[in-house]
Amino acid sequence: MRLSLAVAGICMAATEVQAFQIFHERLSRGRTITRSASVEKEAASSTPDLPDYGKTSVEVDKIRLTRAKPWRREDLFGNTLIDQTMDELQNDAEFQDTEQRLKSVGAAQMSKEERLKRRRALDDLGIPSFEDFLQTQLQSTDKVTLTRKKAPTVLQINIGLYCNQACAHCHVESSPLRTEEQMANDVVLQCLELLKASPSIQTLDITGGAPELNQSFRYLVTMARDLRPDLEIIDRCNLTVLQEPGQDDLVDFLKENNVRIVASLPCYSAENVNKQRGNGVFERSIAALLALNDAGYGRPDSGSPPLDLVYNPLGAFLPPEQVKLEAKYKEELDENFGILFNSLFTMTNMPIKRFADFLYRRGELKDYMDLLQRNFNKDTMKSLMCFDTVSIGYDGKIFDCDFNQQLGYGVGVDEIHQGGLSVFDVDSFESLQDQAIRTDNHCFGCTAGMGSS
Ligand code: SF4
Ligand code: SF4
């Protein structure tokens, strides 16, 4: 009952989700982390009152880590998580309901319904459209339209939605059931052609689903590395994929091709991770991180590419300040598991897909939209993901960002899920320079607090 458990997690406020807010509060009071004067000054000058994190009370002190457990679990490698994920999905009434609606009304209609729900929540609060809101906040006399001022530097490719997990807040609604939505060979080849023709691209960011489970993943990585030895290549790794059958050489492959790993770990507590990502995911993630450390990932001076972690909140609140949370993660993971990593990125949960459903079912969508808009931070406007990124769907369609992709807001369309540019319509990604960016009320998620990109 993945989604149901997540809901229960918020209801049981004192035990799970709450854990984070105490942590936030402690961080805010600066008790746990020593910060440099320059960092303090910078934070104070840029975002004096942000964010307020929302109403959830949190008790991180209640997280109790189990040091005695043998976290090095070689027996997990070669042992699939998919059967367990499928069993959990079979018993998850909310997931089944969403699947049925997807089959009966289709993705386009579901995206429209989602958009209307967000709009109604904002209307109830008297909040205008994102564009009008920006105009007021930025005190602009003209309507504010986001535009790409330069050619994209990041090529993000969603190679397919198939995943061995089915996380409660997955904004792409991945699961082992998404077997059809996989990037075909001709689309992969065209992406490589365009990479060759787009010298502005400095980073290839491969995402999914579990991208490594796509049959073209290794081809894409090796060809991109051959084409552009200087290219930064990122694998958005869910960690548990390292243990899937046939992936025993994955770490070596990634290291040989100088691939940076960006991995999700929304907490250092087993209870919280398993609640959001599925039973057993925490111990598998820890075992995977230890294996990556053994291979040199995350170890300073090892010469290996970086290993970064991603935190996203377990409920309807904003992430704490990245620099403070990173220090806490480093302390906890090293002390309790002997795990090292390079950087932590915090991400705001976007009010779309499974997380939007979760909020709506709990009657919390309005509160969450309120939280996002009242934490508007104009500093986030300097570095929105859509200014630098071009996002490609598994079918080759071009989007301004991963979130627009999941909502069907393609580049060059007015109607969601209708038409739009594909990789076969452009000669270079650099031609996207000066294009207007498609925004809507989900964009409040990128401009709240410390931002989401
Ligand atoms: S591992 Fe990532 S892609 Fe897979 S279900 Fe979880 S959030 Fe979605
Ligand atoms: S969701 Fe964020 S990254 Fe995407 S278009 Fe809106 S502001 Fe830009």
Residues 308-325 have pLDDT tens digits of: 999 988 788 898 888 989
CA nearest 408: which of 233, 201, 211, 158? 158
pLDDT at 1 over 80: no
Please, what are the domains in the chain? 2-445 (3.20.20)
Rounded Cα distance between 34 and 40, Å, is 10
Q: How far, in Å, is the centroid of ligand 1 from the Cα of 301?
A: 31
Answer for the pair 433, 189: CB distance below 8 angstroms, yes or no.
no
Residue type, 410: G
**At 360, phi and psi to the nearest 5?**
-65, -45
Paired tokens of 82: 């998919």
| Predicted confidence band of residue 342 (pLDDT cuts 50, 70, 90) | very high
- Residue 422, SS3 per DSSP: strand
| Predicted confidence band of residue 415 (pLDDT cuts 50, 70, 90) | low
Most confident of 114-123, 217-226, 350-359: 217-226
Count CB-CB contacts under 10 A for residue 234: 20
pLDDT at 43 over 50: no
| Predicted confidence band of residue 69 (pLDDT cuts 50, 70, 90) | low
Q: Whose CA is nearest to atom 6 of ligand 1?
A: 167
pLDDT, residue 105, reads 84
Q: Whose CA is nearest to atom 8 of ligand 1?
A: 170
Q: Which residues of 316-341 are buried (b: 16+ CB within 10 A; e: fewer)?
A: bbbbbbbbbbbbbbbebbeeebebbb
Render pLDDT for 426-435 as a digit per residue (tens, 0 to 9): 999 999 999 9
Ligand nearest to the CA of 212: 1
Q: Whose CA is nearest to atom 7 of ligand 1?
A: 170
pLDDT, residue 24, reads 43
CA nearest 147: which of 419, 452, 438? 438
pLDDT, residue 54, reads 54
C-alpha Rg value of the chain to the nearest Å? 21
Rounded Cα distance between 375 and 51, Å, is 6
Ligand 1: which atom is nearest the Cα of residue 173?
8
Task: Give the mean model confidence (pLDDT) for residues 135-150.
Answer: 90
pLDDT, residue 102, reads 78
Q: How far is CA 367 from the centre of its chain?
A: 21
Q: H helices of 16-165, where?
A: 18-29, 37-46, 82-90, 93-124, 130-137
Query: In terms of C-beta density within 10 A (0-12 exposed, 13-18 middle, 19 or more buried), how is residue 83 classed?
Result: exposed
Answer for the pair 209, 170: CB distance below 8 angstroms, yes or no.
no
Rounded Cα distance between 137 and 133, Å, is 6
Ligand 2: which atom is nearest the Cα of residue 409?
5
CA nearest 295: which of 284, 306, 285? 306
Render pLDDT for 89-109 as a digit per residue (tens, 0 to 9): 988 887 888 878 878 888 778
pLDDT, residue 221, reads 98
Render pLDDT for 188-239 as a digit per residue (tens, 0 to 9): 999 999 999 999 999 999 999 999 999 999 999 999 999 999 999 999 999 9
Q: How far, in Å, is the centroid of ligand 1 from the Cα of 355?
A: 12
Answer for the pair 209, 158: CB distance below 8 angstroms, yes or no.
yes
pLDDT, residue 224, reads 98
pLDDT, residue 52, reads 59
Q: Whose CA is nearest to atom 5 of ligand 2?
A: 439
Please give the angle made by the CA atoms of 273, 164 and 284, to the nearest 5 degrees.
Answer: 45
Q: Please state the pTM of the whole predicted model.
A: 0.84
Rounded Cα distance between 83 and 93, Å, is 18
In percent, the amount of the chain with pLDDT more than 70 equals: 83
Rounded Cα distance between 128 and 252, Å, is 50
Paired tokens of 263: 């991995």
Task: Give the mean model confidence (pLDDT) for residues 413-417.
Answer: 67
Looking at every residue in the chain, the average pLDDT score rounds to 84
What separation in angstroms does the CA of 323 have from each of 138, 259, 273? Answer: 27, 24, 21
Paired tokens of 283: 């111990």
pLDDT, residue 192, reads 98
Count CB-CB contacts under 10 A for residue 178: 18
- Per the model's pLDDT, the better-predicted residue between 222 and 127 turns out to be 222
Cβ(385) – ligand 2 distance below 6 Å? yes
Task: Give the mean model confidence (pLDDT) for residues 272-285.
Answer: 91
